[in-house]
Every structure is written in C-alpha cells, then in structure tokens.
Structure 1
Amino acid sequence: MELGISMFGDLGFDAATKSFQSSQQRLQDMLEEIKLADEVGLDVFGIGEHHRPDFAVSSPEIILAAAASVTRRIKLTSSVTVLSSNDPVRVYQNFSTVDLLSNGRAEITVGRGSFIESFPLFGYDLNDYNGLFSEKLDLLKQINETETISWKGKYRAALDKQEVLPRPASGKLDIWIAVGGTPASVVRAAKLGFPLIIAIIGGRPSQFQPFFELYKTEYLNAGHDPAKMQLATHSHGLVGEDSRALADKYFPNYASQMDRVGRSRGWAPYTRGQFEGGRSSDGALFVGDPSEVTEKILQNQEMFGLTRFLLHCDVGAPTHADLMKSIELFGDKVAPAVRKALHK
C-alpha cells in the first residue's frame, strides 16, 4: 500500500488582526514540507485546488512543478483538480509537463469539487454541474489514450484531428477519480476503470464500506483486470509524539476551519466531543501518536482493501514546525510500521 500526504494550502487566521497568513510564506513552507515527505520515503504527495481567501493554492500543477525540482522519488498528484471548471486539454498538457519535469512521477486526481467558487470564476453554470464533469472526464480519458483526437461535446469546442502535446514520459498518466460518497460517482469510476479515492472526513469509516464493495462489483462486471484495481482513502490527520498534547494544541485550529466552512453550509459549531469522537478507534480523524495512526491505517486497509492512503494534514493551518514534525513521524515511524505489518 502506498502512503502519502495531501494538503490544500490552508492559511492561518489571526483573530486579532482578522487577516490570513501570507500565501507567499505558506507556499514557501509547503515546498519544504514536500521535500521532507520525499526524504522520509513517503510515496505520494497531493495538493488541492481552491479559489477562496483561506487557501493558498488555486493551481495544483504549478505547485507540483515546483515540487518536481526539489524531490526525487515521491509521486506528485492533484488532490483534486476540479475538472468541471477546467479545460481537459490544458489540464492534460500541464500535468504532462509536470510528468516530464519529474521524470514520470505526475498523476491527476479529478473530482467535481465540494466548493463551487471556480464555477462563476471561470464562467460555468452550476446547473451544469453533473454534465460538465461527465463530458470533460470523457474528453480527458480520450486524450490520455490518443495523441491525435477528434471529439465533440456540448460544453466545449469540438476537436478535429488535434494533437495534444506534450505527452507524458510513459505515454499515459495515471488518472484517479475522487468522490465524497455518491453511489453514481463510484459506479462511473468503476465502469471506466479509473482508480478510486474516497474522502472520509467525518463519521465512521465503516459507513463507507458499501461504496468500496459497489466499486469492486462494478469494476469486475465491466471486465477490468482485478490486478489493476486501485483503491484509496483521504482523511484528515496529524501525527505527534504525544497524542493528548497534540490534540489539545490542534483542536482550536481544526475547529476554526470546520466552522469557517460550516457557516456557509449551515453546520452547527464544531465541538471537542466531535473531535474526540473522530480520534477514537472507529472515527475518521487520524490525529494521534504514531502507534494510534498506524493502527487506524491498518484497520482501514483491512476494511476496504486499500492500495493507497493519504493523510490530509494541513486542515486549519497547523504551524510549519508541527507539519514538519508530523511528516517526519509519518515517514519514519508510521510508514515503516504499516509496511512491516502488511508484509508479514
């Protein structure tokens, strides 16, 4: 199983000045964090796309291109690219370029997006939310399979024997589909044969087991090779040497971000009880010491048959020092323990 981290570039908020941390500083810190993830032997780094004042990253491929120059082995993926409001041709060109810069380490993870700011920003109608994604996913798939393409759709100009260049180092890019737990999205990924990553950021992971079983059934029914099936989860977490001290320090950051997002979605204020419930053995939060995080990863791997796990570790903007410590412990303590247990 591959182990990695993902980030959104959350910006710290100063309640006294009512201002966010500098995006410039956060991006510089992030490159140090990615470099460390590579050095401690993690397999994957993912970065998400947002168009809001509380996140530093609007263009994942630019961050990944910068990361390509300071890393040697780690895979570099978006987490996610909001394909519905992007042009699949440009997405493919950008990630192919990252792939060439990184000597074949780039991937794309696409999704419909849980935030909607990109739609009006780039001139798309939210009423076309589902249609845009389906059509653009079809085009992206065809581009990945064929260098010269003729294609016609509803939302984008047609292509007539157009070459999409450059091509990635291996000829094709790995493309994952990220879902939040919508059955139709799971079935679509399975039928098309795309690897699946499910964001599990609340409740109990066991609640998501039917989605993984649905994917496996539909994937096999579609005639895809079971040996090529790839399944992943993405969950919030942070690793520290002392579980209780980490929880006490991190809770205000985490709750603050949950409440900022929640105010626009009608959520009740996030409580310490919810946080501790998430940290419990059957919860969705991977916040704890290396042994606790290791145990939860192994539980989830056994439950779902995972081939990849991503720890999403910058929710609410922990300090750079805390993120560096978390990455160090994840790479030096958690990853070896998980790998050892899975290879018994």
Structure 2
Amino acid sequence: MQEKLKNTGIEIGLYTLGDLCSDPYTGQTICAHQRIKEIIEAAKLADEAGLDLFGVGEHHRLDYATSSIPVVLAAIAQTTKRIKLTSATTVLSTVDPVRLFEDFATLDLVSDGRAEMIAGRGAFIESFPLFGFRIDDNDALFSEHMELFLKLNEQERVSWQGRFRPALTNAEIAPRPLQKELPIWVGVGGTLESAERAGRFGVGMAMAILGGDPERFKPLADVYRKAGAKAGHAPEKLKIGVTGHGYISKTTQQAKEEFYPYYANYWSYVNRQRGMGGSVSREDFEQMTAPDTALFVGSPQQIVEKILRQHELFGHQRFLAQIDIGGLPFQKVAEGIELLATQVMPIVKKETSK
C-alpha cells in the first residue's frame, strides 16, 4: 500500500453536506429533490474527471437533504465507475453499529468494492433526541459503537456485550463486504483527545481544517501517529486526510470576488442554526483567504500551493474539498470540479509522489 501511495501521490476528492441554502442573489432555495439530483450529477462529473473520492455528509434537519447516506451513495454508485464513495461523516454515536455495517457492506457490494466510512460525533445534536440517545453520552456512545463496528468489520460471527445496545451471541453479520474490510476513518475537528482516540483505534484520521493557520493542526497529526504506534498499529494503517472548504477560479482575485457572497451566506445560516448571529465581513474574508491560511480559495496555483504546504506539515494521504456551500449554483460547482481535476490534481499528485 505504501508503494502505491508513493507512486501515485495523495488522493484528491470532494465532499458535500447537502445543505439547502438560499442563493444570496435570487433568494431562492432549491428543494431536497433537486439538491440530491445535483449531488449525484456532481459525483458523476468527479468520477469522469478522474478524482479519487466523493463523500456525502449526514444531517437530520429540514435545511439539509442528506440524512440517509448509504442510500445516496448507492444511487451514486449506479452512475459512477471507479471513484471511491464515503460518508463525510456518519454520526456514529446515534446509529446502531450492526445496522450501519449492514448498510455499508451492502453499499460495498453494490459499488463493486468502493465503499468507505468517515465516522464522527457530529457538529449538530438533533440526531440524539431523534433516535433516543442522550447527548451527555456522546463520548461513551462513540467509543463503544466504534469498538463494535471494528469487530463487525473483522468477523462474520460476533459475540459482544456493551452498555448501549443488546448483547450479541454468535450473531451472523451479513452481508460481508466485497473488500476484505471496509476502510474506516474518524473525523476530527480539533481536539487532541479525538486524534489520540483515532490513533488508538488504528483507523484513518480525517481532519476538518476550515480556516486559520493549518500549522495549529500539526500536534493532532503527531498525537495520532504516536497513539497509533503505541497501540501497536502498523504505520501504513495510520493515514491522515485533510478536509476543507474550497473554491477555484482562473485567478485568485476572481475566485474571491465570486465566492465571497456564497461564503458569507453560508456562515450566516450556519451561525443561525447554532443560535448565533453574524456572518463574515469582506475584510475578514480577505484575511481568511490569505496564502498562509487553510481556506482553499484561489487560482489553481494557489490551491496547489496550499495543499502542498499542508502536505509538508502533515504528510497526509488524502485531500477532500467541499465546494458547494452557501447556495452556490450547480454550474459553478461543475466548473470547480473541472479545475480541481485538470489543473490542481495532476500537479499535486506529481509533487506528492516524489
């Protein structure tokens, strides 16, 4: 596996959360039906363009279109041929691990072995009361569900007992995925505890770096690798991914001019969802898109430089960009996919394969 990564460079892909946001110019909001259609079409374009990965995130709110991730990814599997398909992320604390494994194992069969999962604790809490869990148990739920899911991934018959679900006694876990095991990653927002836990589990770690100086995430990468080694996991199992917001245009100035209204719109409604006020001023946006920051907005060359700078920091194996936020029209998303695939990915792969 290490040789493959050495030869081909890091993986490049996209992810979406399926947000239903009004267009800041027209004030109109597309419906969930159209949003899902556009997500499937975006994945098809990404596959045809040669990108490595496409992810779909989970929310249980009326202002998001994607709550049933395996269903959406299964639909994408039917219109794509080679691109890997992942959740981004699965809220592992509030789902039964057995049902979840069955869903993703089935997705793996449907997609000819392309299914993956990024597990997280979620940025919103609506799934806890919805599925009968206590938010106070979030940390314990996540750890227990991850431990069980990893066991289900390894064995087709499982005996297990825990705190939050009924015990299993020589239970048959079916179907089995086409891959020997489903690739599992843990999404990490910024805490050393989460990074350490991901390393201890011996799964991949996907760091959500949405802005600021990316160097502040270097301790997470170090703690993750140290914890993984201490737990006895082979170095090749300890993979790091970087995820972040992005927008690409012909020049950096054009990218900033085009993207700012949508980016400010995005943070305005996300802050309202969280019971907060305010958005992003143009002055703040200029600072947030500076060359030394983690916000991937700019010309193809600017994006390449930002990815490579982070690769020097983290030595990561995967980069995922979210390029469809804030009510951005689908045509702009399609243009971003083309630029990422044709003008960013070849250079990044060449440089990171050295």
Q: TM-score range by the shorter chain?
A: over 0.9
Contact 1:236/1:313, CA 8 A, preserved across alignment: yes
The answer for the alignment partner of 2:323 in structure 1 is 313
> Take 1:197 and 1:281, find their aligned partners in 2: how far apart are those partners?
22
> Take 1:251 and 1:162, find their aligned partners in 2: how far apart are those partners?
52
The answer for the alignment partner of 2:304 in structure 1 is 294
The answer for the alignment partner of 1:76 in structure 2 is 85
Q: Which runs of 5+ in 2 are unaligned?
A: 1-9
Q: How does 1:17-96 map to 2 (within 5 A)?
A: 20-96=29-105
Indicate yes or no: 2:5 matched with 1:5: no
Work out the number of aligned pairs and report it.
344
The answer for the alignment partner of 1:213 in structure 2 is 222
* Displacement after TM superposition at 1:20 (Å): 3.0
* Displacement after TM superposition at 1:204 (Å): 1.3
> Take 1:95 and 1:319, find their aligned partners in 2: how far apart are those partners?
30
Q: How does 1:265-284 map to 2 (within 5 A)?
A: 265-266=275-276, 268-284=278-294
The answer for the alignment partner of 2:183 in structure 1 is 174
Secondary structure of the residue aligned to 2:117 is strand
State the AA in 1 paired with 2:317: T
RMSD across aligned C-alpha pairs, in angstroms? 1.6
Structure 1 segments of 4 or more deviating over 4 A? Answer: 14-19
* Displacement after TM superposition at 1:146 (Å): 0.8
The answer for the alignment partner of 2:256 in structure 1 is 247
TM-score by length of 2: 0.93
Secondary structure of the residue aligned to 2:297 is strand
* Displacement after TM superposition at 1:8 (Å): 0.6
Q: Which runs of 5+ in 1 are unaligned?
A: none
The answer for the alignment partner of 2:152 in structure 1 is 143
> Take 2:312 and 2:25, find their aligned partners in 1: how far apart are those partners?
45
Mark the CA change 1:164 to 1:280 in structure 2 (over 3 Å): closer, same or farther: same
* Displacement after TM superposition at 1:17 (Å): 9.0
> Take 1:18 and 1:156, find their aligned partners in 2: how far apart are those partners?
45
Contact 2:23/2:328, CA 8 A, preserved across alignment: no
The answer for the alignment partner of 2:114 in structure 1 is 105
Secondary structure of the residue aligned to 1:300 is helix
* Displacement after TM superposition at 1:241 (Å): 1.8
TM-score by length of 1: 0.96
* Displacement after TM superposition at 1:281 (Å): 1.3
Q: Percent identity?
A: 43
Alpha-carbon deviations, 1:39-98, whole Å to 9, x = none? 111111111001122211111111110111111111000000001111111111111111
Contact 2:47/2:83, CA 8 A, preserved across alignment: yes
Mark the CA change 1:169 to 1:331 in structure 2 (over 3 Å): closer, same or farther: same
Q: How does 1:115-130 map to 2 (within 5 A)?
A: 115-130=124-139
Alpha-carbon deviations, 1:150-196, whole Å to 9, x = none? 11111111111111111100231001011101111111110111111
Contact 1:47/1:80, CA 8 A, preserved across alignment: yes
